Structure 1
Amino acid sequence: VFDNLPHDLIYSENQVSPWMEVWVEKQHDRETLTELYKPLEDPLITRCIEIMEFDEYHNTQRSGMLKNIWSKVFPKPRRCWLPTGCLKLLEVLHDALPKMSLIASDFTFLPDVKVPGERAPLVSTKKDGSSTDYGNYLDAKGDADIFFPTDFLLLECMDHYCSGWLKMQKDKSSKQGKKRRTLTLDTSSFMEEFGLPTKTRTKDGYNPLLDDFKNTKFYLSVPTHNTK
């Protein structure tokens, strides 16, 4: 399940400043945890950022200039959670099974997320039957559940990257087609196509296969004839 895989947090001072790794440090004389910002060194984080920002290779110089001006007038810090655990999993799968067929399902968004940042997790704990959501992941010290939403567009990009196709697109002379055929469906659409929703409809019209899990999607990926 992607939402429980490890993620890494990156930080940038504004819209155009370079990304930095976020480390967590515990002070010797205190119980509290603090964040440290360090230059990018982790190769897995670097690869994930490369995939995430792939579309920026196609941006025009003008849009880059506007972004630079905007960041000076209205500077805004950025925090972004990267699905590095998912990327590592896909790398292993593609290396071992390059012609695999993949079906995955997960949350596409989570309600009432209080932790800041793009693709931020829901950090929650339950005590005496009552749930409490944290506004800071540093406050959860072993007694909380952490759920990350899955960015299915990024998942698709990572899938193509691990297949080798996305890397070749940087070489403009490469004309080879995609190695994977991919499709993302809402859970209700997936169940209508591949399930048996007529068997689960209740007398009052309610159907758990179609009416529940509105915040989940299915991702399907199969090899194409371009896979050797």
Structure 2
Amino acid sequence: MIMRFMAFTLYDSHPCYLKLFTGGDGEQQPCWLIMLEVLDNLPHDLIYSENQASPWMEVWVEKQLDREGLSELYKPLQDSLIKRCVEILELDKSNTRQKSIVSKAWSKLFPKPQRCWLPTGCMKLLEVLHAALPKMSLIASDFSFLPDVKIPGERAPLVSTKQKDGRSSDYSNYLDAKGDADIFFPTDFWLLEQIDHYCSGWLKLPRDKSSPQGKKRRTITLDTSSFMEEFGLPSKTRTKDGYNPLLDDYKNTKFYLSVPTHNTK
């Protein structure tokens, strides 16, 4: 997957190859990394909560001998990658560990199951990239939202397949998707920024306060039209009737820019 979006070909003698694929120490040089519609295809993990006050649980998929289809199984959080992603997700919430009595009572009277898809594949990828290329400048573009998603849950994917007549059909349950189904995840760009800062060592989780802090990165998220107006040549793509594909299309996509800085404050 990494070879798909690296802006250059990594030969086995390249220092970045040595670091990324063999664990060796490569020469740390500034570089640009461009990821276009990569994040929507990376693996995600699903977590579940019985109500607003219950703890998150991992969702496992199992195949039972007495059933034809697949079913979900809920287990306490144990995967370290999922745990860290949940902690990052809840950094902007106040008093997440101390639920009020009123909140707990309300959740029991009116329970509302919670389902949340976590971009753990993105987090693992950024951990590897920041370790191998700490001076990289990153440009990522992807879907900020997807229309007509039928699968429940925050940041839920669009799961679709094509029928024999060429028409697309969307699934309402990801467990029903088999074989040639396409899966697209929307990107939560706020969460992407937090994960980026965490993987670079700048953002610290409560249990990581004792470890040294990394260098801060400059980051910004732009709508595609704003990005093209700033860095593209929209005057060259405007048609006679005023339509401009660079500015008028791709309304559900955004660009994320992240560059290193020597400023540690």
Are residues 65 and 100 of structure 1, via their aligned partners in 2, closer, same or farther at CA, if it must alter by over 3 Å? Answer: farther
Are residues 115 and 168 of structure 1, via their aligned partners in 2, closer, same or farther at CA, if it must alter by over 3 Å? Answer: closer
Gaps in structure 2 of 5+ consecutive residues = 1-37
Are residues 88 and 113 of structure 1, via their aligned partners in 2, closer, same or farther at CA, if it must alter by over 3 Å? Answer: same
Residue 174 of structure 2 aligns with which residue?
137
TM-score by length of 2: 0.79
Residue 179 of structure 1 aligns with which residue?
216
Q: Does 1:112 align with 2:153?
A: no
Residue 75 of structure 2 aligns with which residue?
38
Q: Distance in 1 between matches of 2:255 and 2:59?
A: 31
CA displacement at 1:69 relative to structure 2: 3.3
Q: What is the identity percentage for the equivalent residue pairs of Structure 1 and Structure 2?
A: 82
Map residues 39-118 of structure 1 onto 2, 5 A cutoff. Answer: 39-56=76-93, 58-59=94-95, 64-118=100-154
Q: Distance in 2 between matches of 1:84 and 1:171?
A: 19
CA deviation profile, 1:71-116 (whole Å, cap 9, x unmatched): 1232111000000000000000111111210000000000000000
Residue 3 of structure 1 aligns with which residue?
40
Q: Does 1:23 align with 2:60?
A: yes
Residue 200 of structure 2 aligns with which residue?
163
Q: Distance in 1 between matches of 2:101 and 2:209?
A: 24
CA contact 1:181–1:224 (8 Å) conserved in 2:
yes
Are residues 84 and 168 of structure 1, via their aligned partners in 2, closer, same or farther at CA, if it must alter by over 3 Å? Answer: closer
* Aligned residue identity for 1:26: K
TM-score by length of 1: 0.92
The alignment covers a number of residue pairs equal to 226
Are residues 60 and 86 of structure 1, via their aligned partners in 2, closer, same or farther at CA, if it must alter by over 3 Å? Answer: closer
Are residues 62 and 201 of structure 1, via their aligned partners in 2, closer, same or farther at CA, if it must alter by over 3 Å? Answer: same
CA contact 1:201–1:207 (8 Å) conserved in 2:
yes
Q: Distance in 2 between matches of 1:95 and 1:185?
A: 26
Identify, as 1 or 2, the structure richer in helix.
Answer: 1
* Aligned residue identity for 2:156: A
CA contact 2:88–2:205 (8 Å) conserved in 1:
no
Q: Distance in 2 between matches of 1:60 and 1:145?
A: 35
CA contact 1:9–1:21 (8 Å) conserved in 2:
yes
Are residues 33 and 193 of structure 1, via their aligned partners in 2, closer, same or farther at CA, if it must alter by over 3 Å? Answer: same
Q: Distance in 2 between matches of 1:158 and 1:149?
A: 15
Q: Distance in 2 between matches of 1:62 and 1:2?
A: 33
Gaps in structure 1 of 5+ consecutive residues = none
Q: Distance in 2 between matches of 1:198 and 1:118?
A: 38
